[in-house]
Amino acid sequence: MQATHGLASFRLRTRVIGCIMGLTLAVSALAFAFAPNARAAEPPLKTYLGSGTSISFGYSQEIFNENFPTESPFAFDVVKTKTAPFFALNGVVNDYWLKLELKQFGANKAQHSFWLLPVNDGCPGETTDSYIGNGPLGKGLEKAIPGSHGEAPCAYHNVNGFRLHHEYRSGQSQLENVLEVIARNNTGEEATEHPVQVMTLEIGANDLLHTVAKCEKEVAEGLWPGPEGLTNCEVAALPGTIKHIETNIAASLFAIRHGSLFGGVDYTGKILFGGFYNPFGAVYTPGVELNPGSNFLDIVVNIQTKKTVTPFMACYADPQRDPAGAPTFANAFNPLVDGNPGAEPERLQKWTNMANTTFAKNGNKAKNGPDIHPTPTGYEVLSNVWEEECP
| Spatial distance between the Cα atoms of 14 and 6, rounded to a whole number of angstroms | 12
pLDDT at 32: 52
SS (H, E, C) the chain: CHHHHHHHHHHHHHHHHHHHHCCCCHHHHHCCCCCCCCCCCCCCEEEEEEEECHHHHCCCHHHHHHHCCCCCHHHHCEEECCCCCCEEECCHHHHHHHHHHHHHHHHCCCCCCEECCCEECCCCCCCHHHHHCCCHHHHHHHHHCCCCCCCCCCHHHHCCCCCCCCCCCCCCCHHHHHHHHHHHHCCCCHHHHCCEEEEEEECCHHHHHHHHHHHHHHHHCCCCCCCCHHHHHHHHHHHHHHHHHHHHHHHHHHHHHCHHHHCCCCCCCEEEEECCCCCCCCCCECCECCCCCHHHHHHHHHHHHHHHHHHHCEEEECCCCCHHHCCCCCCCCCHHHHCCHHHHHHHHHHHEECCCCCECCCCCCCECCCEEEECHHHHHHHHHHHHHHCC
Cα pseudo-dihedral 166, 171, 175, 179, rounded to 10: -80
Number of neighbouring beta carbons within 10 Å of residue 176 = 25
Closest by CA position to 132, among listed 146, 153, 147:
153
Domains parsed from the chain with CATH numbers? 44-389 (3.40.50.1110)
Geometric angle at alpha carbon 244, from 241 and 246, rounded to 5°: 105
- CA 103 to chain centroid, in Å, comes to 23
| Spatial distance between the Cα atoms of 262 and 132, rounded to a whole number of angstroms | 13
End-to-end CA distance of the chain: 44
| Spatial distance between the Cα atoms of 82 and 259, rounded to a whole number of angstroms | 45
Closest by CA position to 169, among listed 211, 216, 136:
136
| Spatial distance between the Cα atoms of 176 and 186, rounded to a whole number of angstroms | 15
pLDDT at 103: 87
Q: What is the pTM of this model?
A: 0.90
Q: Backbone phi, then psi, for 153, in 5-degree steps?
A: -80, 150
Are residues 264 and 183 in contact, defined by beta-carbon separation less than 8 angstroms? Answer: yes
| Spatial distance between the Cα atoms of 143 and 92, rounded to a whole number of angstroms | 34
Question: Can you give the pLDDT of all 391 residues of the chain as single tens digits?
Answer: 333 343 344 354 445 445 444 544 454 556 654 544 444 468 889 999 999 999 999 999 999 999 998 889 999 998 876 665 667 789 999 999 999 998 887 655 555 678 999 999 999 999 999 999 999 999 999 998 999 999 999 999 999 999 999 999 999 999 999 999 999 999 999 999 999 999 999 999 999 999 999 999 999 999 999 988 998 999 999 999 999 999 999 999 999 999 999 999 999 999 999 999 999 999 999 999 999 999 999 999 999 999 999 999 999 999 999 888 888 899 999 999 999 999 999 999 999 999 999 999 876 789 999 999 999 999 999 999 999 999 9
pLDDT at 107: 59
| Spatial distance between the Cα atoms of 20 and 328, rounded to a whole number of angstroms | 30
| Spatial distance between the Cα atoms of 12 and 228, rounded to a whole number of angstroms | 10
